[in-house]
Every structure is written in C-alpha cells, then in structure tokens.
Amino acid sequence: MHSPLVVLGGGPGGYAAAFLAADEGLEVTIVESETRLGGTCLLRGCIPSKALLHVAKIISDVEELRQDWGVDYGERPNVSIDKVRARKDQVIATLTGGLGQLAKRRNVTIIQARGSFIDSTTLRLEGDHESIPEGGTLTFDQCILATGSVPAIPPAFDIGSDRVMDSTGALSLPDIPEKLLIVGGGYIGLEMLNVYASFGTKVTVVEMADRLLPGADADLVKPLAKRIDKLCEGRVLVGTKVGSLTEVDDRIEVTFEGPKHFGHEQFDRVLVSIGRRPVTRGLGLENTKCIINERGFVVTDTQQRTADPHIFAIGDVAGDPMLAHKATHEGRVAAEVIAGKASAFDKVAIPAVVFTDPEIAWAGLTETDAKKAGVEYQVEAYPWAASGRAQALGITDGLTKWLVDPETHRVIGCGIVGTGAGELIAEAVLAIEMGCEMHDITDSIHPHPTLSETLMNAGEVYFGTATEIF
C-alpha cells in the first residue's frame, strides 16, 4: 500500500497534523498502535488529569467554605472512586469518539499497527488488526513522525510491583491509598498530589532539587509550595533522593537520602513522576537519515524537517517543552510545509500551565531563563491581595508579573500564579506574539472586577501609574 503522507502516531501532534494536511487536500494515513486516537494527552495525560483535578478543586473549595466562610455541608466528602473513575473515562470516550468522526469526515485512513522504518520511505506494520494492508508494509512520499513520549522510570525503581505506578497508573485510580509517596516535584507529580490529597490520601512528595517545580520562577512557586505543605501536612521532602524501593508484604519500603531526611518509611503506593523520554527506540530510525540528539530527541529545523528529506518530526519526540499545544502547533507547521506553504515555528511564546491549586502559568521568557541567557529585563509584579475580585474570591495569594525589555518597553515574558492562571495567560501569549509594548496592555480596558485586570495593573506598576480601583 502507498500513501502520499503517513503520520506515525495519533496523539495531539499526529492527529492535528493529519487533519490539517487533509484540509489542505492531501491524502493522509495515520498509523497508530492503540485502538483509539488521542495519544498521551487524551488517553492518559492532559484530559483525564484535568477531569480529576476538577473534582479535587470542588472538594477543596467546599472545605474552604466549611472552615472559613460559614457554609457547612456536614462531614468530609465521601468519594466513590468507581464513579469518579467512570466520569473521567466517559470524558475520554466522548472526545476519542469525536476524533474518530473527524478523521472519517476528512477521509483520513487509520491503520491500527505498530510502525517502524525499513528505510526512508517504507514502514513495517506490526499487529493483527484488519486495517493492516497485505504484506504488512506501507510506502510514502512524506512521513510525519509523532510518536510522543513515555514515562521515564529508572531501572532501580522498576521493581515489578503494581504498587509502584507511573502517571498512567495513577490516573487509572486503582484505589484511594492511605499513604502515597510521589517521587518528583514536577508538574505531573504535583497535579496528582492535588487529586489524591483531596480524596483523603496522606501524600508525601520527595524532590531531589531544593524546591518544588525547580524549572519555574521561585516567586510563582511560593504560594503553591505553601498550599502543598498544608495539603501534605508538612510531608514535603525537598533536597532529598530516593535510594531504593522494596516490596514488603502489601507495602513499598522506601529509603530516603538527604541532609534533612534520612532513613526509611513504608507506603501503600508510590508514584514515580521524574520525567518523560521521547519514543525513538525500536522505530528503525537507524534505517533513515534522522538524527537523534544527546537528550534523545529527533532533531528538526524550524519547519519540523528532520535530516531525512522524507521525514518530519513533531511533538514530544521532537524536543521540549513536552506539551500538547506545542505538539499541535508543530503538527500544523509540518502539514502546511508539506502542502507547499512557507510556514515555520518561532518558539517565542509557548505557554506552560501547572494545573494545581493554585495554578501557575507562564509564557515567553521566565526570569530563570532570562538570567541564564543574560537577557536584560525589568520585572513588575501585581499582588492579587490588591485585586477586588481576588479578595471576593478569597484567592489573595496570587501574583501577576510582566517581564519587559527596558529599552523598547516590549513585553517579553509573563508569569501568573493563582486560580485561573491557565486561562489568564492567553492574553500574555497574544501580547508577546504581537510584539506589544507595555502601554498596549495598560491602554486596553479590562473588565471590572476580574482577575484579568491584574495584567493591566502590573503594567501600570511598570509606568508608576497604578490606580487600585477595587
């Protein structure tokens, strides 16, 4: 079988690329090893985690009502884990079903098989699904590689126990453990911490770096770290390494090595969330001209072309940040380039959101990155304690800040911590993409009373004209 364009992998990078290419009039085939399209994001990432985090947020809001605001619904919530799991699975089923319809409407062929390269224009297809063509090979003119990433589990933690989970295991909600250890204080670990702690699990989090979310700006992490410390009742072990995991009866014994925390403790379950690795092994990439860099990513240019003229690469397999919207955007670029358009990806404002409570979001340059790169910037922050809406909502620990080029007054970065930060950051993405100057933000009327005003207020602080109107 021959298909002019083959997309290997049906995640948010792959299916977006396939749909956009079909919209450009190209004949497209997706090769996906799973039974459904959607990839990590839809099946075991962004969407299931947000479905669970929404439940967690309602529980914590009700708890706040009870403790501080004089509305008491009675006892602590009684969580029916089967129902929570069923709702999350229904959300996934609705969305994956929709993807199947969208593929059909565009005449995109879907082959359910594991694909690997025999050479630069031929894939071997393995599996037993009826969609696999006779002979088990598929030739193409162009291929978009979109095989994504999988959790990285070091061999020392891979002890063959189902009590040691990765993010996929944690999202499947096997039960509500009494004691859970989360290894890794990155965004995936902290999102799952919010979920399990709100269900009543005693969570401990251990992070090798000296603070949670080591890649994010410290002032944004501070309010979240405070909230997490409360949720975990102090069981936040930073600057601490996990030495070993051993299954002892129905529990996992963990040894800790760190200046402050040394010794061992038993847990019902352990979630290992210390990072993800791009899927390049077993793909036969050595039979192509693709180059893999020292971090395991397939090297591409700004048009998503690899070193092999027949192969493009997008999404998690093609480099950081490993985020769904970055994968989708790269999919768009690859599809448009293959369709003959002069598209390219200038990565100036990829937003990142940590969907914890409170949320953290940033776009453009962070202070951490600006300092590393020696970029001159001026930073102006607006504390949410001065926002009427934040006071009304009881979320005064938030902060909105802009990074500005002091010479041109252009906005070059934005960071927000607080409820809804993930929605608020979209304005900053647009501003940075459009090359806005700080006055463009302050001259734009923001609705009152909203949290979006804090973006305007932080700009006013920059000009020394802040007018606190509550």
When the beta carbons of 186 and 383 are compared against ligand FAD, the nearer one is 186
- Which helix (H) or strand (E) segment holds residue 348: the answer is none
Q: How far is the CB of 26 from ligand FAD (least distance, A)?
A: 19
Q: Is 63 annotated as a binding residue?
A: no
**Contact indicator for 265, 202 with CB cutoff of 8 Å:** no
When the beta carbons of 8 and 232 are compared against ligand FAD, the nearer one is 8
The residue within the footprint of ligand FAD, chosen from 148, 319, 383, 413 (CB under 6 A), is 148
Phi, psi of 329 (to 5 degrees): -65, -40
Q: How far is the CB of 339 from ligand FAD (least distance, A)?
A: 19
The residue within the footprint of ligand FAD, chosen from 190, 221, 324, 334 (CB under 6 A), is 324
Told to check if 14 binds ligand FAD by CB under 6 A, we report yes
Q: Is 184 annotated as a binding residue?
A: yes
User: How many Cα atoms occupy the beta-carbon half-sphere of 348 within 13 Å?
Assistant: 13
325: tokens are 């919207």
When the beta carbons of 277 and 409 are compared against ligand FAD, the nearer one is 277
> Which is nearest to 355 in space by CA: 193, 202, 179?
193
C-alpha angle 452-454-459 in degrees, rounded to nearest 5 = 115
Q: Is 190 annotated as a binding residue?
A: yes
Told to check if 34 binds ligand FAD by CB under 6 A, we report yes
Q: Is 433 annotated as a binding residue?
A: no
Q: How far is the CB of 69 from ligand FAD (least distance, A)?
A: 29
- The yes-or-no answer on residue 329 being catalytic is no
Piece in contact with ligand FAD (CB under 6 A), picked from 12-20, 263-271, 336-344, 394-402: 12-20
String marking each residue 182-211 x if it binds ligand FAD according to CB under 6 A: ------x-----------------------
Q: Is 81 annotated as a binding residue?
A: no
Question: What part of residues 281-320 is at the interface with ligand FAD (CB under 6 A)?
Answer: 283, 315-316
Exposed / middle / buried, residue 230 (Cβ in 10 Å: 0-12, 13-18, 19+): exposed
Question: What part of residues 43-82 is at the interface with ligand FAD (CB under 6 A)?
Answer: 45-46, 49
Q: Is 325 annotated as a binding residue?
A: yes
When the beta carbons of 184 and 315 are compared against ligand FAD, the nearer one is 315
> Which is nearest to 297 in space by CA: 411, 425, 307, 101?
307
Catalytic residue among 129, 264, 439, 448: 448
Told to check if 109 binds ligand FAD by CB under 6 A, we report no
Q: Is 186 annotated as a binding residue?
A: yes
Residue ranges in 259-298 assigned as alpha helix (H): none
Exposed / middle / buried, residue 212 (Cβ in 10 Å: 0-12, 13-18, 19+): buried
Told to check if 147 binds ligand FAD by CB under 6 A, we report yes
Report how far Cα 129 is from the mean position of its chain's Cα atoms: 31
The residue within the footprint of ligand FAD, chosen from 323, 349, 411, 429 (CB under 6 A), is 323
Contacts by residues 170-175 (CB-CB < 8 Å, ≥ 24 positions apart): 170/196, 170/271, 170/273, 171/44, 171/45, 171/48, 171/49, 171/52, 171/88, 172/85, 173/52, 173/81, 173/84, 173/85, 173/88, 174/269, 175/81
C-alpha angle 48-217-50 in degrees, rounded to nearest 5 = 10
Tell me the residue type at 122.
T
User: How many Cα atoms occupy the beta-carbon half-sphere of 78 within 13 Å?
Assistant: 2
When the beta carbons of 252 and 279 are compared against ligand FAD, the nearer one is 279
The residue within the footprint of ligand FAD, chosen from 313, 327, 395, 441 (CB under 6 A), is 327
Piece in contact with ligand FAD (CB under 6 A), picked from 71-79, 110-118, 363-371, 398-406: 110-118
Q: Is 74 annotated as a binding residue?
A: no
Size of the site for ligand FAD (CB under 6 A): 36
Phi, psi of 455 (to 5 degrees): -70, -40
Q: Is 50 annotated as a binding residue?
A: yes
String marking each residue 238-277 x if it binds ligand FAD according to CB under 6 A: ----------------------------------------
Tell me the residue type at 93.
A
Q: Is 275 annotated as a binding residue?
A: yes
The three-class DSSP label of residue 144 is strand
When the beta carbons of 125 and 461 are compared against ligand FAD, the nearer one is 125
DSSP string, 196-252: HHHTT-EEEEEESSSSSSTTS-HHHHHHHHHHHHHHTTT-EEET-EEEEEEEETTEE
The three-class DSSP label of residue 454 is helix
Q: Is 459 annotated as a binding residue?
A: no
When the beta carbons of 404 and 424 are compared against ligand FAD, the nearer one is 424
Please give the Cα distance from 465 to 439 (Å, whole number). 11
Piece in contact with ligand FAD (CB under 6 A), picked from 35-43, 67-75, 134-142, 211-219: 35-43
The residue within the footprint of ligand FAD, chosen from 52, 237, 279, 421 (CB under 6 A), is 279
Question: Using omega within 30 degrees of 0 as the cis cutoff, is the peptide bond preceding 214 cis?
Answer: no
- Binding site residues, ligand FAD, CB under 6 A: 8-14, 31-34, 39-41, 45-46, 49, 114-116, 146-149, 167, 188, 279, 283, 315-316, 322-325, 327, 355
Catalytic residues, by residue number, are 448
Annotated binding site for NAD(+): 184-191, 207, 275
Annotated binding site: 50, 115, 147-149, 184-191, 207, 275, 316, 322-325
